[in-house]
Each structure stands twice: as structure tokens, then as C-alpha cells.
Amino acid sequence: MIDEDKIFVFDDSEGMADFTVARWNEISSQAIVDKGYFSAVLSGGKTPVAFYKRLAASKDIISWHRTHLFLADERFVPPSDSESNYGLIKEHLLSHVKIPDENVHRIQTEGITLEQSARRYEEDIRRFFRIDGCSVPQFDLIMLGVGEDGHTASLFPGKSSLSEGTRLAIPVIAEKPPGERITITLAVINNASKIIFLVSGRNKARVLKEIIEDKKGGLPASRVHPKQGMVYFMIDQPAASLLSGRKMAQ
Ligand code: 6PG
């Protein structure tokens, strides 16, 4: 059972996006005060689009030059493909803010194999955090979604990728198309300072109840328990409709 204080339910996607932008600003400001930079991991899918748009339009002062963005997962397609997570984030966020190109750590998918892509992404993460092959980075914030089957990032139920304990990024073959993907591992996710799940839609209600209220904990999203960090669930009413206890954030 997840502490209900970390579960926020919203009437609509705009309210959810605005609240999440405010949390983003708090977390990034604190990280920049503490260390001089903010490292965040973004996800693809439809749900975060409203958040990306609101973040891009935010009137708050955001230190984009001190912000470094990574991806939780990527579909193995060119960046111009409509299925590209980088392409989606670029369209709704990156093209609208003044973030230096070198602060955007996308997962290369062109002219490279799936395995090479995962290895190169891991090298990029290690270089940024200046860590060796034995250490796991601590991102300030990882933003995740949840699939109807309980997947998160591109970690799917019942797959060996869930038990990867050493690598930071791995290639996976997913049942959900496009099948070839690269994903960060649970080792990285569970070392983050903060995790925000964004979940919307009635089709997520059943799986969300299982993740939040059941104790079985076998689904990929149920295995997100950062060792020293916090998990926030931002949920719209339809996705929250089967939860027994609800806490409104507004
Ligand atoms: C991806 C994602 C994935 C996503 C969930 C939810 O590339 O597919 O990163 O983990 O977050 O599938 O997606 P929706 O928001 O579209 O429901």
C-alpha cells in the first residue's frame, strides 16, 4: 500500500499538468540550489503531453541552461517518426524553451543497432554523472507513465529486463508496438530522488488500483520504490475511479 499523501487526484488534465509543473519548479529549484544543476528523466506516451505543453508555457523562471533532460525509454525509430518519444517531447516542450542542445540527452536510434544504442545511452548517462561501471546515477526526478498492463518506461510484465541489476539502459523487445525499444532499468529508477507517475484515463483504473492498493507488487510499476526517494502519483478522476481512498490536491 502506497502512502496516500503521495497520491493526488485531479478533475482534469489541465489541473494535473499545472500541479505537476509547480512540483517540477520546486524540485528543480532545490536541485539547482543544492548542486548547481537539475537532472530529469522524461517519458513518452500520450499522458504527459498536457504537462509538457504547460511546462513549455510556464511563466515561472525556469533555469533551462542548468537543466539536463534524459529519456526513460525510446522506441527504436528515427526522431522524425511519429512514434519517437524524443520527437514527441521536442514537439511539445523542447522546441518552445531555451534549453541548450547539449543538455538534452536523447537516445540515438539512427545508424546503430539496438544493443549499441542502449550501450551508448548508458555511456552518456555515466559521463554526465561522472560515475564508473559499478555505480548507479541519482536523478533528481524521473517522470513515468503506466500502461494498462502495468508496464512503466519500457519495462514490461514478466520480462527478464525487470531483474537487470547492473546495466543502466538495456534493449528490449516489447509486445506493444513499436516492439524494439531501449529503456532505463529499475536500478536507475529506484535510485532516483523523486518519481512522478502521471496516469490518466478510465482504461488505467484497474491496473492503478492493483499498483496502489494490492500488495502483490509483481507489476513493473509496482516495483518502483526508490531507496531514498519519494513517489508521487498524479492521477485524473477516471483513472482514480476504482481507488478506495482518494486525496484531492486542490
Ligand atoms: C512509451 C512510454 C510508456 C508510457 C506508457 C503510458 O514510450 O510507451 O514511455 O511507458 O509511459 O505506455 O502511455 P500513455 O500515456 O500513452 O498511456
Which of 73, 143, 211 to probe ligand 1 with, by most ligand atoms within 8 A of CB? Answer: 73
Predicted confidence at residue 19, as pLDDT, reads 97
Please enumerate in sequence order all residues whose Cβ is within 8 A of that of 64, keeping only pairs 6 or more positions apart, or say none. 97, 98, 99, 100, 103
pLDDT in tens, the chain (250 residues): 455 559 999 999 999 999 999 999 999 999 999 999 999 999 999 999 999 999 999 988 889 999 999 999 999 999 999 999 999 999 999 999 999 999 999 999 999 999 999 999 999 999 999 999 889 999 999 999 999 999 999 999 999 999 999 999 999 999 888 999 999 999 999 999 999 999 999 999 999 999 999 867 799 999 999 988 899 999 999 999 999 865 555 4
Question: All 3 cell numbers of residue 167?
Answer: 546495466
Is the Cβ–Cβ distance between 38 and 66 less than 8 Å?
yes
Whole-prediction pTM value?
0.95
Q: Which atom of ligand 1 is nearest to the CA of 199?
A: 15
**CA 222 / ligand 1 centre spacing (Å):** 15
40's enclosing H/E stretch is: strand 38-42
Which of 82, 142, 152 to probe ligand 1 with, by most ligand atoms within 8 A of CB? Answer: 152
